[in-house]
Amino acid sequence: MNPRRVTAAVLIIGDEILSGRTQDVNLAAIAQYLGAHGVEVDEARVVPDRPQAIIETLNHLRRAHDYVVTTGGLGPTHDDITAACVAEAFGVALNENAEIIAMMRARWGREIGPGLARMARVPDGGVLIHNPLGGPPGFQVGNVFVLAGIPEVMRGMLQDIGWRLDGGAVVVSQALRVETGEGEFALLLETFAEAHPDLSLGSYPFFGARGKGAEILVRGRDAERVAAATADLAAALAAAGVEAVKV
């Protein structure tokens, strides 16, 4: 296990996300998967299908974080430009991968035309990421993992990433539920957060059929520290007249 904090960025590529036509669900899946491997998603960007935007953003993210995961833009159409942009970002050539072409021939039982062959393009030096659903794989170049945008395919490809990660300590969390508005404990929570700089404290309000209140989340890399801080926070809330129940 890496003793330092290990971070990742997620780069979501596609005009359809920015237009609102498609709702992204990949970020949550990626964050949960990486988190279980000791890698914290520290930043996420959504960019359009424009080469300059993809290349500039990718180059920034891969230098700022230990890992980058991209989703989208690996299909056969004109706007599927992720592979080409990754190649340009790394300054390498983009070529059809013979192994992927062979996979596609075996799957579809015919020769692969130029349209489908676009999905076999991989930057030089890229290492394939297995696609358990049988379609063309993703690939890894350096610290960048390039995955499909279709959620089911993306989640399958994720399973071939974990063993490649040098993660840190897994972040653990505990939650307290309070049945009152945040204004009743906001200052107490601020003081508590200042006294525990090694932990992350968040308050997430809810309204509706289940009433009004908030869940307070305590997160950190030391399970005993998180448990002790959560107990202390519950006691401090109780002393202030706010009942908190561990959930």
| pLDDT per residue as tens digits for the range 119-162 | 999 999 999 999 999 889 999 999 999 999 999 999 999 999 99
* Alpha helices in 159-214, H assignment, sequence order: 186-195
Q: What is the mean pLDDT of residues 172-191?
A: 95
Please check whether residues 214 and 143 belong to one and the same domain: no
pLDDT of amino acid 135:
86
How many angstroms separate the first and last alpha carbons of the chain?
29
Among residues 135, 164, 193, the one where a domain terminates is: 164
The CATH number assigned to the domain holding 235 equals: 3.30.70.2750
pLDDT of amino acid 112:
87
Residue 109 pLDDT grade (very low, low, confident, very high; cuts 50, 70, 90): confident
- Say what the pTM is: 0.91
How far is 120 from 140, CA to CA, in rounded Å?
A: 14
Please check whether residues 188 and 87 belong to one and the same domain: no
**Is 181 domain-assigned?**
yes
Q: Count CA within 13 A, CB hemisphere, residue 202.
A: 8
Assign 69 to helix, strand or coil. strand
Q: Residue holding tokens 């030089």?
A: 124
Please check whether residues 80 and 196 belong to one and the same domain: no
Assign 221 to helix, strand or coil. coil
Please check whether residues 87 and 187 belong to one and the same domain: no
**Is 1 domain-assigned?**
no
**Is 2 domain-assigned?**
no
The CATH number assigned to the domain holding 96 equals: 3.40.980.10
* Alpha helices in 65-195, H assignment, sequence order: 82-90, 98-108, 114-117, 151-158, 186-195
| pLDDT per residue as tens digits for the range 224-239 | 999 999 999 999 999 9
How far is 149 from 11, CA to CA, in rounded Å?
A: 11
Assign 238 to helix, strand or coil. helix
Please check whether residues 137 and 16 belong to one and the same domain: yes
Domain residue limits at 206: 172-246
Please check whether residues 145 and 191 belong to one and the same domain: no
Domains in the chain, number: 2
